[in-house]
């Protein structure tokens, strides 16, 4: 478990800001309670923003996501893993390719696709069991788009719902990309370049926002 408890290059769990955030939000007497409280802190206090410059490595780094107060799925998964490790909970990041049947027109236009490769989530080892947690969509965003918020109890996997509040098709998991002790940034960036030629064909300015608060 050592590699899942120690700091990584992107899951930088020893960063002072990450340690402070983890201490503030790792509430509860049990490991499970602390894992759950950290999940909701990252889910709702860090705004989900998919319009970032993915060529910039900082969008994948836990401490940078925390400082910015926003991140996309991989950055938020990295932050949750870092906070868990700072609290003494073994954690890693996992990835899957997903199809978002409710992709917004703006996002579809930016990426040129409704397929999202290397969607990121966190796995935490709670009470001797690896449990998936997906902190990507904050509650305010879910309410706005009538997407079912993902709850997490520390016992069962928390992954995207297949349907939204209006029973429309939402997320479809297509491919498992495995789990990692740290975010494989080079691998992800190459996959993004292959999957989103329109985005990368426009250069870094394809992102409508830069990685900033």
Is 122 within the bounds of a domain?
A: yes
Is 210 within the bounds of a domain?
A: no
Is 205 within the bounds of a domain?
A: no
Burial of 35 (0-12, 13-18, 19+ CB in 10 A): buried
Asked whether the beta carbons of 121 and 114 are under 8 A apart, the reply is: no
Question: What are the pLDDT digits (tens) for 39-54?
Answer: 999 999 999 998 888 8
Q: Would you say the pTM of this structure is higher than 0.85?
A: yes
Is 209 within the bounds of a domain?
A: no
Domain that holds residue 61: 2-200
Question: What are the pLDDT digits (tens) for 152-186?
Answer: 999 999 987 777 777 877 788 899 999 999 999 99
Question: Tokens representing 154?
Answer: 């520390």
Is 181 within the bounds of a domain?
A: yes
Q: Nearest-5° angle of CA 35, CA 40, CA 42?
A: 95
Q: What is the DSSP letter of 204?
A: G
| Mean pLDDT taken over the chain | 89
* pLDDT-derived band at 108, boundaries 50, 70, 90: low
CATH number at residue 114: 3.10.620
Is 167 within the bounds of a domain?
A: yes
Contacts of 104 (CB under 8 A, 6+ apart): 145
What is the total count of domains within the chain?
1
* pLDDT-derived band at 114, boundaries 50, 70, 90: confident
Is 30 within the bounds of a domain?
A: yes
Is 213 within the bounds of a domain?
A: no
The 3-state secondary structure of the chain, one letter per residue: CHHHCCCCCCCCCCCHHHHHHHHHHCCCCCHHHHHHHHHHHHHHHCEECCCCCCCCHHHHCHHHHHHHCEECHHHHHHHHHHHHHHCCCCEEEEEEEEEECCCCHHHHHHHCCCEEEEEEEEEEEECCEEEEECCCCCHHHHHHHCCCCCCCCCCCCCCCCCECCCCCECEEEEEEEEEECCCCHHHHHHHHHHHCHHHHHCCHHHCCCCCCC
Asked whether the beta carbons of 154 and 131 are under 8 A apart, the reply is: yes
- Locus of tokens 């990368």: 200
């Amino acid at each position: 478990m050592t590699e899942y408890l120690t700091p990584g290059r992107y899951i930088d769990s020893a960063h002072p800001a990450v340690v402070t955030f983890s201490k503030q939000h790792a509430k509860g007497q049990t490991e499970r309670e602390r894992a759950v409280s950290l999940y909701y802190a990252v889910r709702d206090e860090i705004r989900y923003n998919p319009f970032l410059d993915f060529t910039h490595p900082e969008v994948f780094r836990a401490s940078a996501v925390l400082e910015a107060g926003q991140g996309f799925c991989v950055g938020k998964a990295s932050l949750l893993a870092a906070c868990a490790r700072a609290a003494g909970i073994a954690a890693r990041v996992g990835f899957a390719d997903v199809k978002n049947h409710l992709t917004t027109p703006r996002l579809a236009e930016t990426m040129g696709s409704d397929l999202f490769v290397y969607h990121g989530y966190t796995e935490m080892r709670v009470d001797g069991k690896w449990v998936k947690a997906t902190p990507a969509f904050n509650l305010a965003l879910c309410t706005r788009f009538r997407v079912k918020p993902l709850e997490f109890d520390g016992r069962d996997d928390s992954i995207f719902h297949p349907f939204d509040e209006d029973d429309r098709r939402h997320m479809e998991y297509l491919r498992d990309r495995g789990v990692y002790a740290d975010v494989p940034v080079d691998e992800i960036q190459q996959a993004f370049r292959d999957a989103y030629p329109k985005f990368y064909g426009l250069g870094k300015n394809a992102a409508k926002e830069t990685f900033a608060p």
